Structure 1
Amino acid sequence: MIRYILQRLAGMIVVMFLVVTIVFVIVRVTPGDPAAVMLGPDATAQDVAQLRTRLGLDQSIAVQYVFYIGQLLKGDLGQSIFLNMPVTSALLDRAEPTFFLTIFSLAIASLIALPIGIYAAYRRGSFVDQAAMMVAMLAASIPSFWLGLILMQFFAVRLNIFPVSGYGGPGASFGERMYHLTLPAFALGLVSSALILRFTRASMLDVLGDDYIRTARAKGLIERRVVLKHALKNALIPILTVLGLTAAVLISGAVVTETVFGLPGVGNLVVSAVLRRDYPVIQGALLVIAALYVLINFAIDMLYLLVDPRVRY
């Protein structure tokens, strides 16, 4: 088991190094000069050159890359050009809405998909099964931002049940903030539930026809115990995998949804940084998102050890 964990940690380091390199190159080769954008159209060439020198943009790509790697090894993501503050502080200030939006959306997706997927597999071929698959295909084809706009128009504008946008005032309580996240979380959760539902159904179908399930039924165990204890426990590995991937996708997919609902999260910060050509913020946000992807996958791998003892060997 220790060897397995060490292999996974080594893989994480290699992946993060590749991500750092790719992000650095992509951001640098994108057309546009951040110094010129920052100073505006009325700036002279001398002003732009002075700012480029102060920001280190006049150095070669190789020198900038070595300097950036040195910063990362010290835990420094750089200084935001427009916000005039450390990138780490900027990301931490915006992390709360994105974090709770991701957790809220994943909870909604799981509550919708897991029971329906299990029951659809148990009633394979029935009307419930066919209806569930049809709804899953429909939900998978709907963009989250479009669904968010529809929910906003109906529940916020017409019925005035939920707020149109925002995250509450500076002194808002936790309940009020969750109230503001209801519509965007439901928009993300409903779309994400389609993939979880399909994987849950497929995984349950794989195990419901196995010999040990028939043996459990032959022993006289009640159906609920057979399905939830014997079948679901052995179908958890694919379900855990898709839950982890969904959580990672929700973190990055919140960019558009946060913009639509005006949430002051990391996604909104990234959009603003792209428009302003704020290199450090773009790089820092992408690296943090990539690191979360890697950490979530590592956590799922560790859960495999608990769910299926065979993984340890």
Structure 2
Amino acid sequence: MRRYLFHRLLGMIVVIFLVLTIAFVLVRLAPGDPASLMLGPDATPGEVEALRIRLGLDRSMIAQYLTFLGDALQGDLGQSLFYNQPVTTVLAGRAEPTIFLALFSLIVALVIATPIGIWAAYRHGSVLDQASITTAMLAASVPSFLTGLVFQRYLATDLGWFPASGYGGAGAGFGDRMWHLVLPSITLGITNSALILRFTRASMLDILGEDYVRTARAKGMSERRVVLRHALKNAGIPIITVIGLTFALLVSGAVVTERVFNLPGMGNLVVNAVLRRDYPVIQGTLIIVAGLYVLVNLATDLLYLAVDKRVKY
């Protein structure tokens, strides 16, 4: 186990290093000068050049990269060019809505997908099974922004059940902020439930055809115990894998939903940073998301031990 964790940690370091390098190169390949964008069209060439020197943009790419890499290794992701604050401070201020949106969306997806996937596999070939597959395909095909706009129109504007947009106000309490996330979470949860549903159904179908399941039935065990204790437990590994990947995707892929519902999350922050050529914020977000992916993958692998004691590292 220790050897496995050691190799995984080495792999994490390599991945983060590659992400640092790719993020640095990609953001600087984008057209546009951050200094010109910050000062506006009325700035003189001298003012633009003075700002470039102050920001360190006049140095060579190699010098900028070495400085960026050294600072990142010390936990310093740089200073935002637009907010004039440390990138870590800017990201921390936008992390709450994104993290809770991803968490609530995952809960919604699990509530929808897990029971339907199990029942569809148990009733393989039935009308419910075919309907679940069709519904999953439809949920995966409809863009999240369209689902969000429909929910905004009918559930928020017409019926008034949920806030249409925003994240509460400046003095909003925790409960009020979470209430503003309910409708976006339902939107994202429905869209991402399709993948979990299909994996749950496929995994359960494989397990329900195994010999030990037929043996359990032959011994007179109830169908509920056979399905939930024997089949679902042994089908848990691929389901856990897709749940972990879905959570990571929700954190990094909630940009459209945040824009539709005007949430001050990391997705909105990245979009604005790209438009403003705020290099440090773009780089910092990419690093955080990559680190999250690596940690989620590691946590998912470790959860295998809790689900199936036969797993050995």
TM-score tier, shorter chain, comes to over 0.9
The equivalent of 2:259 in structure 1 is 259
Q: How far apart are the structure 2 equivalents of 1:61 and 1:172? A: 44
The equivalent of 1:198 in structure 2 is 198
The equivalent of 1:25 in structure 2 is 25
The equivalent of 2:142 in structure 1 is 142
How do 1:92-111 and structure 2 match up within 5 A?
92-111=92-111
Structure 1 stretches (4+) deviating beyond 6 angstroms? Answer: none
Greater mean alpha carbon deviation, residues 195-204 or residues 162-171 = 162-171
Q: How far apart are the structure 2 equivalents of 1:17 and 1:298? A: 17
Instruction: Give the superposition deviation at 1:286.
Output: 1.2
Q: How far apart are the structure 2 equivalents of 1:182 and 1:306? A: 31
The equivalent of 1:157 in structure 2 is 157
Q: Which amino acid aligns with 1:288?
A: I
Instruction: Give the superposition deviation at 1:7.
Output: 1.7
Matched, 1:45 2:31: no
Instruction: Give the superposition deviation at 1:158.
Output: 1.5
The equivalent of 2:302 in structure 1 is 302
Q: Which amino acid aligns with 2:174?
A: F
The equivalent of 2:56 in structure 1 is 56
The equivalent of 2:238 in structure 1 is 238
The percent identity for this pair of structures is 66
Instruction: Give the superposition deviation at 1:111.
Output: 0.3
Q: TM-score, normalised by structure 2?
A: 0.98
Q: Which amino acid aligns with 1:213?
A: V
Instruction: Give the superposition deviation at 1:174.
Output: 2.8
- Once the two structures are superposed, residues 33-78 of structure 1 have per-residue CA deviations (whole angstroms, 9 ceiling, x without a partner) of 0011111111111111111111111111111110001001110010
Instruction: Give the superposition deviation at 1:267.
Output: 1.1
Instruction: Give the superposition deviation at 1:171.
Output: 3.0
Q: How far apart are the structure 2 equivalents of 1:34 and 1:265? A: 22
Size of the aligned set, in residue pairs, is 313
Q: How far apart are the structure 2 equivalents of 1:108 and 1:248? A: 15
Q: How far apart are the structure 1 equivalents of 2:117 and 2:271? A: 35
The equivalent of 1:223 in structure 2 is 223
SS of the aligned residue for 1:12 comes to helix
Q: How far apart are the structure 1 equivalents of 2:212 and 2:13? A: 41
Q: How far apart are the structure 1 equivalents of 2:63 and 2:98? A: 34
Q: How far apart are the structure 2 equivalents of 1:226 and 1:9? A: 38
Q: How far apart are the structure 2 equivalents of 1:234 and 1:50? A: 64
Q: TM-score, normalised by structure 1?
A: 0.98
Q: Which amino acid aligns with 1:55?
A: L
Greater mean alpha carbon deviation, residues 7-16 or residues 191-200 = 7-16
Greater mean alpha carbon deviation, residues 4-13 or residues 217-226 = 4-13
The equivalent of 2:121 in structure 1 is 121
Q: How far apart are the structure 2 equivalents of 1:262 and 1:154? A: 17
Instruction: Give the superposition deviation at 1:306.
Output: 2.0
Q: Which amino acid aligns with 1:284?
A: G
SS of the aligned residue for 1:286 comes to helix
Instruction: Give the superposition deviation at 1:12.
Output: 1.1
Q: How far apart are the structure 1 equivalents of 2:3 and 2:310? A: 14
The equivalent of 2:6 in structure 1 is 6
The equivalent of 1:84 in structure 2 is 84
Q: How far apart are the structure 1 equivalents of 2:72 and 2:181? A: 33
Q: Which amino acid aligns with 1:71?
A: D
Q: How far apart are the structure 2 equivalents of 1:7 and 1:119? A: 39
Q: How far apart are the structure 2 equivalents of 1:309 and 1:15? A: 29
SS of the aligned residue for 1:90 comes to helix
Greater mean alpha carbon deviation, residues 153-162 or residues 86-95 = 153-162
Q: How far apart are the structure 2 equivalents of 1:263 and 1:226? A: 44
Q: How far apart are the structure 1 equivalents of 2:64 and 2:236? A: 45
Matched, 1:73 2:77: no
Q: How far apart are the structure 2 equivalents of 1:17 and 1:81? A: 23
- The alignment's C-alpha RMSD in Å is 1.0
Matched, 1:250 2:260: no
- Once the two structures are superposed, residues 243-279 of structure 1 have per-residue CA deviations (whole angstroms, 9 ceiling, x without a partner) of 0010011001111111110111111111111111111
